[in-house]
Structure 1
């Protein structure tokens, strides 16, 4: 592949937002798709449906506040929409559109019967009381209710949302429907139809995909040095999996700062410190470092599990890891992607690496519909099997076509989506 970043003529080269990043990815993939599917590519470059809603709530002090919310359904050719809801002060329509599109590809890569969707509210939830957060969640759910349903669109947790938020979403939808509808969301508390193993599923999938890549690259996980950006649900679960497998987590970064320990952290102790003190600095065995030093950490594996656009042209040349795993959605810009390829660094793309969450969400959805629940051991075994099969298919496609893992994953996912669209045809 050329090391020159090709920007489609209809995009601005000055700034690529999340949606523009997705369009560049599709533009790169198109030449590798089956010839009979290429005329259908415009289906992927437009979201099927986008809803923008006003979310007014009464604050605890009696004043009214307004927040902007979104729910985007990118493509439903392979099944109902599936994708999380995030509460974040920088949520934009471009971001939610891109996230919904990546969900379309991701669901197809692991071959679960869902289309792509995503939602979000532009809000800093840390500034809301628990009662205000509940009112925000319930009002937002009511506003997007027309799109939701266990056979239409099934939300899940994402950044700054959790099991409790999903319980409020499910209850609000159920009250409006006049019946209990557990299957309308995933990532719920186990006592409300949630699945065992769901909380750690994304991080566990990150570990499984990394282990599969490491094996093929001749890199032993036991003793490997791992740097993890993002120490929320995904980064924490991944860190525990790596540590339990004998790897050394030597650097961590979140929105509070960056820390390092060449000998490796006790990641559970660091998590306990973070929960108690609200920051990584000062954790047992931690040396505070700069953000630049984090990217230059002497590590074998780098896990990017924070937000999109974290690995850029500005820091991609500093990275010393042999293997990068994208635990977040869209953490690598297109320009940085080419730099990493030129440097021979293997990148496991987000649509493959972080698909463990939606895979176990699929398990939860199936369990809710059938009212029959599996053990955590069964969940983890099924998750690992699906992740390994998906990784093998992507790796083999990359090897046969001489393309990157990202391009191979997009080829596999996009061809499945476009084939479904072609078979269904157009109505009316």
Structure 2
């Protein structure tokens, strides 16, 4: 058996490059994975910042981007990066700028915002490396988090799924795990469809109101105070208690592997819209499906962010970006559900097959050039 490091990750798709960055003075620790470039000459993928992020996690996220870009027909490969550190650190700007300088010549990777980073971070990256997506308006960009592009796509997926499942969105009970940029945008867009968001959480704790949380007021509250101290809006609870609240729709919008085979039995819902990347292991997703819970996988449900990023990079307008999100996410969600019903496939297997069908054709062309 080979003991080469890359063999821990390598398969028939990639990755084609794994880069580690270290700066002793600032203690910057960075990871970049370019997984596959069959769809285009450069890979688009977010740069996250977290103290416990690992190379394996970045690889898995880069693979998700490869598949996501393929299933959406975007002319970009899949990549991802991470900075190992606390996003609340005073060194954040230093780390971002040093990271950007380190990848300046890695032209095949285009970074964007992700968990722990935002449009200001991408402005710093662009100043140092000359490229980034998810830039502020002042830099000519389409700020993904401010626009709520990923959350908007999650809501579009709910439109398609509700029709197929005969699950009315009006008065549907929604639980959102992760009340960050994606979770907040998803909450806003789903509220427009008449749902009741009954529980949310973040890293500090959770909040539950069976009659529906006042989301606009909660937005204002969390700007300066902890979410689980908003006792006038709902009942505080421990962070992971949100995984057990019964709902009609559950939106995981935080870290990977929230549900595994070991804890999937806690989830009591009808529909899962994966707002985060790789929030449920494939094994757990299969068990959930067998239990009658429909899961719309990440590469379809949360693709609004990268569609918007691609539109920005190509100089398109906000309206064009959101029109592309609406069409692509609705089309792919419908196609997925049709395969699940007609071919008796598990949702994650169907989504993977949809992406691989596109990717394999491109890889054949790519390999022959």
Query: If the length of structure 2 is used for normalisation, what is the TM-score?
Result: 0.93
From 167, 184, 187, the counterpart of 2:123: 167
Q: Which residue of 2 aligns with 1:141?
A: 100
Aligned-partner Cα distance in 2 for 1:76–1:198: 26
Q: Please give the secondary structure, in 1, of the residue aligned with 2:83.
A: strand
Match of residue 74 from structure 1: 35
**In 2 relative to 1, CA 198–291 (structure 1 residues): closer, same or farther, beyond 3 Å?**
closer
Q: CA RMSD in A?
A: 2.1
| Partner Cα separation in structure 2 for residue 289 and residue 413 of structure 1 | 39
Q: Residue 132 of structure 2: which of 171, 177, 185 is its match?
A: 185
Query: What's the offset of the Cα at 1:283?
Result: 4.9
The equivalent of 2:141 in structure 1 is 194
Hey, what's the Cα distance between the residues in 2 that align with 1:166 and 1:142? 13
Residue 386 of structure 1, CA deviation: 1.7
CA distance in 2, matches of 1:306, 1:169: 23
Q: Does 1:93 align with 2:40?
A: no
Deviation at 1:230, TM superposition (A): 0.3
* Number of matched pairs: 363
Structure 1 residue 113 displacement after superposition: 1.0
**Cα distance, 1:240–1:65 mapped onto 2, change above 3 Å:** same
CA distance in 2: counterparts of 1:334 and 1:378, whole angstroms: 33
Does residue 273 of structure 2 align to residue 325 of structure 1? Answer: yes
1:198, 1:69 → 2: CA distance? 22
8 Å contact 2:49–2:116 — kept in the other structure? Answer: yes
Q: 1:196 to 1:312 in 2, by over 3 A?
A: closer
CA-CA distance at 1:293 after TM superposition: 3.6
**Gap runs ≥5 in structure 1:** 1-8, 11-18, 24-40, 57-63, 175-183, 368-372
- Tell me if structure 1 keeps the 8 A contact 2:203–2:239: no
Measure how far apart 1:65 and its partner are: 3.1
**Would you say the 8 A contact 1:270–1:280 is kept in 2?**
no
CA shift for structure 1 position 196: 6.5
- How far apart are the structure 2 equivalents of 1:292 and 1:194? 36
CA distance in 1, matches of 2:215, 2:272: 20
Aligned partner of 2:12 in structure 1 is: 43
| Alpha-carbon spacing, 1:206–1:55, altered in 2? closer, same or farther (3 Å) | farther
Indicate yes or no: 2:254 matched with 1:316. Answer: no
SS at match of 2:82: strand
Tell whether 2:158 aligns with 1:210: yes
Aligned-residue offset at 1:426 = 5.1
2:172–2:195 Cα contact (<8 Å) kept:
yes
Q: Where has structure 1 moved over 6 Å in runs of 4 or more?
A: none
SS at match of 1:65: coil
Task: Summarize the alignment of residues 16-27 of structure 1 with structure 2, pairs less than 5 Å apart.
Answer: none
Among 319, 326, 339, which residue is 1:397 paired with?
339
